[in-house]
Every structure is written in structure tokens, then in C-alpha cells.
Structure 1
Amino acid sequence: MDSDLSPSGTHKTSAVYNDVHHAPVTSVLADGDVIYADHEMDADERVIRALGYKQEFKRELSLWTTFCISFAVLGLLPSFASTVYYGMGYAGTAGMVWGWLIAMIFIQCIAFSMAELCSAMPTSGGLYYAAAVLAPPGWGPFAAWLTGWSNWIGQITAAPSVDYALSAMILAAGSITNPGYVPTNWQIYLLTVLILIIHTVISSLPTKHVAQFNSWGSTFNVIALVATIIIIPAMVKTKPKFTSAHEVWSDIKNQTDFPDGVAVLMTFVGVIWTMSGYDSPFHLSEECSNANVASPRAIVLTSGVGGVMGWFLQLVVAYTVVDIDAVINSELGQPWASYLLQILPQNAALAILGLTIVCGFSMGQGCMVAASRVTYAYARDDCFPFSKYWKIVNATTKTPVNAVILNTVLGILMCLLVLAGSVAIGALFSIGAIAQFVAFIIPIFIRVFFVGTRFRKGPWHLGRWGPLIGGLGVAFVALMVPILCLPSVTKGDLSPDLMNWTCLVYGAPMLAVIIWWFVDAHKWFTGPKVNLEHAIHPVHDEPEVSEGVEPGNAQVAADSKGSEKSDETLPK
């Protein structure tokens, strides 16, 4: 539709309108709100504008490249290598195989519910935006505040934790080839910093190059994972080659002070941390073409493929490991390297460890990309101090370079935990698991129990099964949050170096964020901030242009200015 007036009263050669009511989105704007542009919009731009945002990124990602970045963030092989301690270390092989299988059923529920939200709200803000729009009237900003900060904390811990584990594996490989070498914490820290800086450079490149890099990395991840699943059983040097099925599936070797059932639940930390990357397509949706279909499909594809292939890897390790205590307590300082050396000839062990290291590098880079998009999206809505700097999109690369640099600096500081020992740096893994899944579940919880008719399904949806599937996901997270905070020992055995510091390292920032909200932030934070020209009235009424409105209250914001709706209808 053409006209020569913009909402501000100035003339445009070709003003194009998009009625939110006709867009397949659940928006911060009200039905009937009109979006203005000075050019013809394709379907993707109409959707993002109906959500209240300008199209600022180039849409150079497809379903495949979005899946590649997401699968790289998932990084099954390096993720398992980084968290093998939590699987077999808490409950033995039975805990590994049953823990992954049970947890994956509920994780799929969360992934499917998230995909449904993504289809209705394909924006970089993702879960934060969904929580704001779906929350009951008056609660939108607070729901967005909690979701956004929890998600951000989880996102910015991802690359540092991955790169720490990667550094430990690289130096463990050095120990294997040079038995007299024992890595120090300082060496691990400095190598982690170097890898973070390299990932910063790659993540600041134009979207096209980032997509290409992650496509290669994800392809290599799949090849390396399949190769590992085949090579380990084929080249096992131990006699007998495989553990009995009865021992693998039934023998819970409880290494904690808790009952067997709780010990199995504690193994879920590895599954949850490994599978916390499938939300990446949500945050990359503004760079994806056909986003409200391709992005939710990428979420489901990532969680499904990752869940099945990850379980096969669990089975391979469970059937071949010989001495769990030796793996967990090896002087190499890296359980995956210890396991490989225990069951394979040295050259084969080094080959698989090398594959894992390359996959880990790709995974860390994917984590850096996803985290930078989250930081940009929240800074765009002024969530952070000095947001005006972090929300800048680089004019040359068309990527949020400042947000990448901010995340890197924070990651370097967080990795100082390496110097306090393995238990302290291990808190980053639990934080990533808890922070991400708390953020995942807040908008799903609101969608299931409070949304009513305010949720408009996108083209990808769960139909009448949506509330049931979402409810199962909510119940799972409610159970797992306290479990993930438990130490492995209790009472007299508990000491500072064995304490689970997750409650403090995650709880303290979140408590500070909540206090900040009630003391000050509630005065100025209104949730997602509209950054384009729009009007709830037809063009002849000289409508308002809003910089930010409280979610769901665009109608109120416009009417409060004293204008009344016109009975005129917009020409089609």
C-alpha cells in the first residue's frame, strides 16, 4: 500500500504499511498497529517489523547454516569430553546411559516448546521477548528482566567453559606425548585466553563468513563424532573388549553421599550442559531467511539429532570403559584423555583426542557467536549499563562487534576461576546449565499457565499438544535446578574444595539483578523497545511514533495521548 505521509508527518516517496494483525507473530505491538517503511518489504522483514524491530542484519543464514551453527554450539563430542566426569563420576555407566535417555525425553519437550515460541516471535531477543509479550498485564517487564539476565549469564559462560575444557585437552595431549610434562593452572588459563581472542576475531567477521566457518565446523563435528563411535569399539585394546550388558545397564556405581536415584539425577548436569545450545537458532533468527519456519526447524533438528547421536556416544563409552576411578582421578587432569589412553593404543587415542580438540574449537566459536547476538539484542533494549555501545552494529561487517568484545573481556575475567582449582572453574558448567534452562522455562511456563488467548501461533506449532509438552518441560526444570546445586559429598566430608559453588556464582548475580529491579530498574525498563516508525491509528490521524512500550500495551500507550481511533480503514 502506498502513501506519501510518514507517521511523523514528513513526506516519503513510497511508504509501505504492514498491519500487525495480519502477521503470523505474537508481538509487543497491538493488533491493528501499522508499521511503516520507505521500501517494499519481503516476508522476513514484514515479520521482524511486526515484532517492532528494524531489519539491521543481512539474512544470509539458511535452515542448514543455522543448524550448523547450532550443532557447533551443541558440540556433542567436545561437550561429552568436557563433562564425562559428571556422568560416570557420579553414578557409573548405568547413570550415564539411563541419565542421558531420561533427561533427553524432557529436554525434547523444552526444545519443541521453544521452537513453537520461536515461530511466533523470530527475533534475536528470543526467550526474553517471548516472556515480555506473554506475561500477564503489568508483569511483562519483570518477566523479561529475569529471563534476559539468566539467559545472558548462561550465554556468556558458554565460550569460556568450552575454551577452558579445550585448553585442558590440548595440554593433556602434550602430557601424553611427553610424560614428564604436567600442565599448570596458569598455562591452562593463558591458553584459554588465547583461544577466546581467536574466537573473538572470527565472530566479528561478516555473517556470510561466520556461516561458512560454522558450516565447515559443524560438518567436521558430525564426521568426527561418527568416526569416534566407530573407531573406539573397533580398536579397543582391553580384554575382554566390552563390559557386560548387565553391568552397563544395572550396576550403579554411586560415588556420592546421596541415594542412587539422586546420584543418577546428578549425572543430568552433563546432559543439560551439552544440550543447552539448541536455542541458538532463536537468537540467530534475524539473520536467517524464512525465519519463522527455518529457525524452529533448526531448533528441533539440533535437539533431536544431538540427543540420538549423543546417546550412542554414551553407550560406546559405557561398554568400553575399564576403570572409572582411574579415568576420573588421572594425573592428566582431563577424564576424556584418560579414558582414551586407557582403552586405545596411544596413537589411536591421540587421533581421537585431536578430532575432539578441533570440534571443541568450532564449538567455542559457535558459542561466542550466539552469545554476542544475545548481548546485542538485550543492549538494543537498554538492559545493560552503557547499552548504547554494546548495541552498535559495525558498519563494515554488519555484525555486533562491540558485543563480541564485551563478552570476550567478561570471559577472560571468569576464567580466572581456573587459578582457584578444578572445582571452582567447574562451577561455570553448572551455571551454564542452570542459567540457560531457567531462561528457557520462564516463557514456556507463562505460555502454559498464563497466556490464555494472547499467544498467536506461528506457522510451526504444536497444536493442542503445546500446553502438555510445555508442562512436562517445566516440571523437569523445577526438579533439576536444586539437584544441580548439590555437592557430591555431605556432612563431615564436605570441604571448600568439594563444595558445589553453583548457588553462589549463579545465585549472587541473579539476586543482585532482582534487587536492582526493585530499587531502580522498574522505573525505566519497559521490556522490548520498538525501534521503528509505527502507529495504532490510520495515517491521517498524525499518529504517535513510540520508542518503547510496555509489552501488550501498545493500544494503551497510543490512546493515552488523547487521540481516538478513526473509523477509516486503510486501503489495501
Structure 2
Amino acid sequence: MLRFSPIVSRAGSQIDVDQLHIHSILSNQGKKIVVDHDVDQDEAVMLALGYKQEFKREFSLFSTFCVSFAVLGLLPSIASTMNYGTLVVGASPLPWIIAMIGVGSVALSLAEIASAYPTSGGLYYATKQLAPQEGSIGAFLSWTVGWSNWIVQITGAPSIDYGCACMILALRTYQNSDYSPSKGEIYGLSFGLMIIDSFISSMPTKWIAWFNEAGSISNMAFLFVVFVMLLAGNDRMHIMDVDTKFNTAGQAFAIDNQTDWPNGVAFLMSFLGVIWAMSGYDSPFHLAEETANAQLFTPRAIVMTAGSGGIIGWAFMFVIAFTIVDVNAIATDSLGQPFITYLAQVLPHNMVLAAAALTIISSFFMGQACMVAASRVTYAYSRDDCFPLSFLWKQVNPITDTPVNAVWGNSLIGVLLLLLIFAGEVAVGALFSVGAIAAFISFIIPVFLKITVAHNHFTRGPWNLGKLSRPIGIVSVAFVALMTPILCIPYSKGSDLDVLSMNWTVAVYFGPMSISTLWYLVSARKWFKGPKSNLDESYFQSMDNSEYISGLEQAVYSKEGAENGVEVSEKQSR
């Protein structure tokens, strides 16, 4: 059990914003916040950032990591994105290794920002604080980051549930070769999964934490089980009539370019599978307002998710590379799900069913975790009136203490996005690439500001990169700058390119972003100034002779206490 000592021991004290080690929308204004109850470190930071503490902090480091690892969903992610990696350059694990250098750099930079701005809308909030304070550039960049990150969130659950539905129906086709799912059946099943996710995401925070802990533990266990099944149950010599149980190193690491582009470009294009599979590591940021010890536990959960996901994901791809038999057969499979076809090349019939079932269950947990993270982002941005009908989406349900309206608003948008199913596989596939490019752009703008205009005044949180902050940030920005146009390139070109093979990322991402930019230029620039405090004037009453929180009275973390999640005051530690 985490124990936290209150910073303010009695009601009637004030929090001096400028004496807290936080740079916020209330900084440098001489603000002193009146409190009428005991306030711990998390709530003090929240108030200093300009927001009321409206959620219960019932996520520990482990449960926060569990949500993000569930969002990461390595097993279903790798299964759902085989056609964005394996079917581009073959099964080689090399793209995963190299892509993780860039992905890991972005994750580390993001973790440092999360420690400094532990709010649910942290990326958008941080952008405004890190941007130049003169003029309106900060508000515009904040607006852009907010909308880009929101697109990531609202496409997450639909894309995962679509992949889950395809896997379920592919399993039926595997059992009955005469069956071929219609688009209506795929949509209906995806729709049903979205509704179930929404109900679960509307529960109280403690219940959601328990559910995601169970989901993440299951996800890790199932990933290990399938991993072992592929090694121990490998029967490809009998199933596919090949001479060896495993491929040679030369076969496993070979690049098999199946695009119309040169090998180098195709190699970079295959990074989409890695980027999308690893895109859930930012989830702890969006749960910061429900996480205890948020300035430490939030960045730690981000790093834990990216680190463990990168290592485990590479190991899984390594096994696939050494066991896969015929990439071309997978590319032209009749089941509608390349991962099921791959399993059928390697495992006996019953083991295919078992491995697929475990993947489907993991996919369900992943979709639900994405729905939770998305609702918190919608709530945070609506709190600053960024969206139409923001007054609805920023309400916290008095029974569950969760943003139920935001959950169902996102769900409605998700089921509408799933209508892309009827436009064809390539169109609905844009949900995957859109999520990748939208995430990268929303991540990298505050990172770019941190290493440039804000380099000398960025107020670091207790978890930071020290002297490595700028070098890692430069690698992050360079990687995203390289990958952004790559993610928009279609796999075909010239006479082979048609409407069905077009990369729809440009339309599905830059279309809505263009509309949001036009809205800002025409209207929002007149009233949107960036994140705004939801503390009313009663929080800032003047109190003479009151007890202030000085720098020495702030709660800090001793080395031993931080490792055990125990908060102690600096006075106590001396």
C-alpha cells in the first residue's frame, strides 16, 4: 500500500504556486491557493498546474504500467500489423531493432515531459508552457498538439477492435473454408466490441484499475504461452513439408522487398508495424491525474512500457522470423488475417485455435485500455473548451467519479470511423497509419520546443534525463522528421497505384487536421489561449498571517522512499 504524508497538515493554509518546483499557467503571478483540507504532493502539484483534483488517485505504478502495457498489447499488435511489416520486407527482425532506437528516444523524452507536467492533457499543456510566451504561436501549437493527440486516441480502440473482429472471423474461416465474412459482419462485430469497451471504461477508477491489471497480466502470460507454443509446438516440417524445423540465420534476417520502392525506402516503411505496436507507451501520461506519486510513477511507467515492449516485441519477431515458411502465401491468404495464416504454417490445428484464442482475448483487453486512455484525453481537452459541446465531455460522473460522457462520445466517433470498413481494406487500414503519424506529431512538438526555445528555462520534474536530455531529444526529432513522410507513402507507385492501393493516411489524418487549423484561424484564435485553470476565485482568496508552503516544506522523495513509493517531507528526511 502506498503511503503519502500530507503537505498541509491542517485546513486554512495556502499553497504558494511560485515556490513549488512547477512551471504552469499560474506561475509568476504571485498566486497563492487556499486549501480547506489536507493536501498531499500530488494534489499540490495539480493545484499549482491550475486544476482541481477531481479523480481518485487509485492507480499505483504497477496498475498504471498495466494499463499502458495492455494498450501496447504486443501479441495482438504484432498480429494485427503483420501486413505492415512482414508483408513489406519479410519477417526479418532487423526493422524492429533499428526502429526501437527512435521509438525509445521518443519515449524517454516523453517521460521527462510527463514528470514536469503530470496532467491528463499533458502534451497539449506542456506545449503551451514550452512555446514562446510572446504572441499566439504557443496557443496555436497547443491547439495542434491537442487535436493530433486526440486523433490518436479516437482511432486506437476502433482499429484494435477491427483487428480483433477480423481475427475472430478469420478463425471461423479457418474452421470452415466455405465461410467468408461480409463487411457487414466485420462491422457488426467491431461495433459490439466497441460498446463492451465503453461499458467497462465507464466503471469507477478502482474497478478499471483491477480490470486492466487482470488484462495486462493475462496479456503478458498469453504472450509467453504463444511464444513457447511457436517454439515447442513447431510442426512446420510436417505441415508445410519443409526440410528443417527452423530457418537459417540468413533466411531469418533476409530482406524480401515486396513494394515498388527501393530496399531502403521499403525498410523504413516497415517501421509502421513497430511504431503502431509500440504506440501505447504514452498512456500513463493520460492517467497522471489518477496516479499516486504521479511525477515519478508516470514517467517510470512510460519507460517500463517502452523498454519491456521493445525487448519482448523483438524476441517475438525473432521467433516469427525463424519459423515462418512462406511470406507470399501469407500475403495472399484467404483467411483475411495474416497472423492466423502464419500460425497455420507452423502449428497443428488445435494449437492454432489455442494461440488465436489467446491473441483475441489479449486484443479485447487492449481495446478496452485504449478506450480508457482516450476518454481521459477527451476530458482533459474539454476542460479547456477545445471541443464542440465541451461542457458535456468535461463532466465527471458523480457515481463513478470517471468521465463517462467522454467515454461514450469517443465511442460514437469510433463506430462512425469503423464505417471505413465498407470502403475497403486499404481505407480502414488507414486507422493504423493515422494513429502512428498523429502520435508522433503530438509527441514531437513539445520535445522539439524543449530542446530549442525552452532549453534554458524548462523546469524539470523529479524524473529527468539530465545532460542526456538534449541529445536524446535531437534523436527523437530526427526520427520523427524522417518517418512522417514515410508513413504517408503508398506501397505501390506508377501504373500499379490506384484508388484501392493508395495510402489514405494523408486524407484521414491531414483532412481533419486541416479542418481544425481552419477552425483555429477563423474562430478559435479569438478565444483559445491554451490551457486554462478551472480553479475559481475562491481558491485565491487573500489570507494574512497564514501558513505558506515553503520550498523546504514541500514533500520530496528520499532515495529509499521513492523506491518504495513512500513520500516523506524534506524536514522529516533531514
Structure-1-length-normalised TM-score: 0.90
Residue of structure 1 equivalent to 2:427: 424
1:29 aligned to which of 26, 31, 41: 26
Residue of structure 2 equivalent to 1:144: 142
Residue of structure 1 equivalent to 2:369: 366
What's the CA shift for 1:533? Answer: 4.3
1:53 aligned to which of 38, 51, 54: 51
Closer, same or farther: CA 453–28 of 1 in aligned 2, 3 Å: farther
Structure 1 residues 501-550: Cα deviation after superposition (integer angstroms, max 9, x where no partner): 10011011111111111111100001111011469999269xxxxxxxxx
Give 1:61-460 correspondences, 5 Å limit: 61-94=59-92, 97-137=93-133, 138=135, 139-239=137-237, 240-249=244-253, 251-460=254-463
Cα distance in 2 for residues equivalent to 1:336 and 1:495: 26
Aligned amino acid, residue 115 of structure 2? S
SS of match in other structure, 1:93: coil
Closer, same or farther: CA 243–51 of 1 in aligned 2, 3 Å: same
Structure 1 residues 221-270: Cα deviation after superposition (integer angstroms, max 9, x where no partner): 00011111111011111231111101222x21111111101101000111
What's the CA shift for 1:421? Answer: 1.2
Cα distance in 1 for residues equivalent to 2:420 and 2:313: 28
Task: Give 5+ residue unaligned stretches, structure 2.
Answer: 1-9, 238-243, 545-574
Residue of structure 2 equivalent to 1:551: none
Structure 1 residues 373-408: Cα deviation after superposition (integer angstroms, max 9, x where no partner): 000000000000110011000000000000000000
Aligned amino acid, residue 121 of structure 1? Y
What's the CA shift for 1:85? Answer: 0.7
Does the 8 Å CA contact 1:34/1:534 hold for their aligned counterparts? no
Structure-2-length-normalised TM-score: 0.90
Cα distance in 2 for residues equivalent to 1:103 and 1:348: 31
Structure 1 residues 199-221: Cα deviation after superposition (integer angstroms, max 9, x where no partner): 00000000000000000000000
Closer, same or farther: CA 35–168 of 1 in aligned 2, 3 Å: same
Does the 8 Å CA contact 2:34/2:539 hold for their aligned counterparts? no
Structure 1 residues 473-508: Cα deviation after superposition (integer angstroms, max 9, x where no partner): 011000001000001110101010000010011011
Task: Give 5+ residue unaligned stretches, structure 1.
Answer: 1-12, 542-572
Does the 8 Å CA contact 1:52/1:531 hold for their aligned counterparts? yes
Aligned amino acid, residue 198 of structure 2? T
What's the CA shift for 1:14? Answer: 4.0
SS of match in other structure, 1:530: coil
Does the 8 Å CA contact 2:34/2:540 hold for their aligned counterparts? no
Residue of structure 1 equivalent to 2:483: 480
What's the CA shift for 1:457? Answer: 0.8
Aligned amino acid, residue 243 of structure 1? N
Structure 1 outlier segments of 4+, above 3 Å: 533-538
Cα distance in 2 for residues equivalent to 1:28 and 1:517: 21
Does the 8 Å CA contact 1:14/1:38 hold for their aligned counterparts? yes
Does the 8 Å CA contact 2:33/2:541 hold for their aligned counterparts? no
Structure 1 residues 343-387: Cα deviation after superposition (integer angstroms, max 9, x where no partner): 110100110000000000000000000000000000000000110
SS of match in other structure, 1:110: helix
Does the 8 Å CA contact 1:35/1:534 hold for their aligned counterparts? no
**The 10-residue stretch of structure 1 (233-242 or 158-167) with the greater mean CA deviation from structure 2:** 233-242
Cα distance in 2 for residues equivalent to 1:380 and 1:540: 28
Cα distance in 2 for residues equivalent to 1:538 and 1:415: 50
What is the total number of aligned residue pairs between the two structures?
526
Does the 8 Å CA contact 1:391/1:403 hold for their aligned counterparts? yes
Does the 8 Å CA contact 2:35/2:539 hold for their aligned counterparts? no
SS of match in other structure, 1:279: helix
Does the 8 Å CA contact 1:199/1:368 hold for their aligned counterparts? yes
Instruction: Tell me the percent identity.
Output: 52
Aligned amino acid, residue 264 of structure 1? F
What's the CA shift for 1:101? Answer: 0.5
SS of match in other structure, 1:36: strand
Cα distance in 1 for residues equivalent to 2:539 and 2:194: 46
Cα distance in 2 for residues equivalent to 1:398 and 1:247: 54
Structure 1 residues 548-572: Cα deviation after superposition (integer angstroms, max 9, x where no partner): xxxxxxxxxxxxxxxxxxxxxxxxx
Does the 8 Å CA contact 2:55/2:290 hold for their aligned counterparts? yes
SS of match in other structure, 2:14: strand
Closer, same or farther: CA 523–380 of 1 in aligned 2, 3 Å: same
What's the CA shift for 1:24? Answer: 2.9
Cα distance in 2 for residues equivalent to 1:20 and 1:222: 42
Cα distance in 1 for residues equivalent to 2:398 and 2:541: 34
What's the CA shift for 1:454? Answer: 2.6
Does the 8 Å CA contact 1:424/1:501 hold for their aligned counterparts? yes
Cα distance in 1 for residues equivalent to 2:140 and 2:156: 25
SS of match in other structure, 2:34: strand
Does the 8 Å CA contact 1:36/1:533 hold for their aligned counterparts? no
Cα distance in 1 for residues equivalent to 2:132 and 2:258: 45
Cα distance in 2 for residues equivalent to 1:490 and 1:445: 33
Cα distance in 2 for residues equivalent to 1:126 and 1:285: 9
Aligned amino acid, residue 130 of structure 2? L
Cα distance in 1 for residues equivalent to 2:543 and 2:38: 21
What's the CA shift for 1:36? Answer: 2.1
